[in-house]
A and B are shown apart, each in its own frame.
Chain A
Amino acid sequence: MSKRFLYVNRKAPYGTIYALESLEVVLIGAAFEQDVSLAFLDDGVFQLTRGQQTDELGVKNFSPTYKALGDYDVNKIYVERESLEARGLTLDDLLPLTYEDEDDDWAEKDSIKLVSAAELAEIMEAQDVVLSF
């Protein structure tokens, strides 16, 4: 019986290790075939911005790895609307994350769902396990 896991991401990338650690745990955890969702709120929405270029800082740009989540069957990615708005961002500022739906002739679909804080609260409530980063 698979459990519902939600990874809650609230930190910006690079300034702290939380974002990268979360991504690694998600990828490792994906091998256990649980029902996995990811939530991005507060500064966590900055993890998904397009156009990150870290070569001048000498740290690894791990943002392309979010695009592999679909391959790992992680395709429920909730982004909080209020958090985007507070940061002057829209969905167009974020990486396009997609997956191929096995039950729909491998049609390519969007993984990101924009949700309100109230909706996200219910999503959190519906989980078996919530992991915070």
Chain B
Amino acid sequence: MLHTVNKSPLDRNALESCIKHVVQGSAVLLIEDGVYGAMQGTQKSPMVESAMKEVSFYVIGPDLKARGIDESRVIDGIDIIDYNGFVDLVEEYDKTQSWL
């Protein structure tokens, strides 16, 4: 399953709830305000780093750029992709769930 999260983890609990409900082998894609969840050194980074042991994390590059988050500040191991990469992920995983 591909999970997408579009809310900032510092504002809403969408990412936290998503992480509680993912199973091994799933992927989490951070989009729109969800990209703040990909930043190093925030209150929520440890939660993401720990979840990365079980599932793959992706983040949309243009959404990072819009918000002034340099790629160097993204947690190591999170794949930065563009909207075409989003389409590829949707094809790769049989189902998608949006955490709004």
**Chain A: residues with CB nearer than 8 A to chain B?**
10-16, 42-43, 46, 49-54, 56-57, 59, 61, 63, 86-88, 93
Flag if B36 contacts A87 (CB, 8 Å): yes
Q: How far is the CA of A87 from the CA of B36 in the complex (A)?
A: 9
Picked from A46, A50, A52, A57, the residue with its CB within 8 Å of the CB of B36 is: A46
Instruction: Give the chain B neighbours of A10 by CB distance below 8 A.
Output: 11
B interface residues, how many (CB within 8 angstroms)? 25
Count of chain A to chain B residue pairs whose CB atoms are closer than 8 Å in the complex: 69
Interface hit among B16-24, B38-46, B50-58, B88-96: B38-46
Binding site secondary structure of chain A: loop
- Contact, CB under 8 Å: B8 / A43: yes
Q: Is B68 in contact with A50, judged by CB distance below 8 angstroms? A: yes
Q: Which residue of A lies closest to B7 (CB)?
A: A15
For the complex, what is the distance from the CA of A33 to the CA of B68, rounded to whole Å? 32
Interface residues of B (CB under 8 A from A): 6-8, 10-11, 32-33, 36, 39-43, 45, 61-63, 65-70, 73, 82
Query: Which single member of B10, B61, B62, B67 contacts A13 (CB below 8 Å)?
Result: B67
Question: CB-CB < 8 A to B43: which residues of A?
Answer: 86-87
List of B residues within 8 angstroms of A88 by Cβ: 39-42, 45, 73
* Chain B residue at minimum C-beta to C-beta distance from A45: B10
Q: List 17 A-B contacts (CB under 8 A).
A: A10-B11, A11-B11, A12-B67, A15-B8, A15-B33, A42-B10, A43-B36, A46-B8, A49-B67, A51-B68, A52-B66, A53-B68, A56-B62, A87-B10, A87-B36, A88-B40, A88-B73
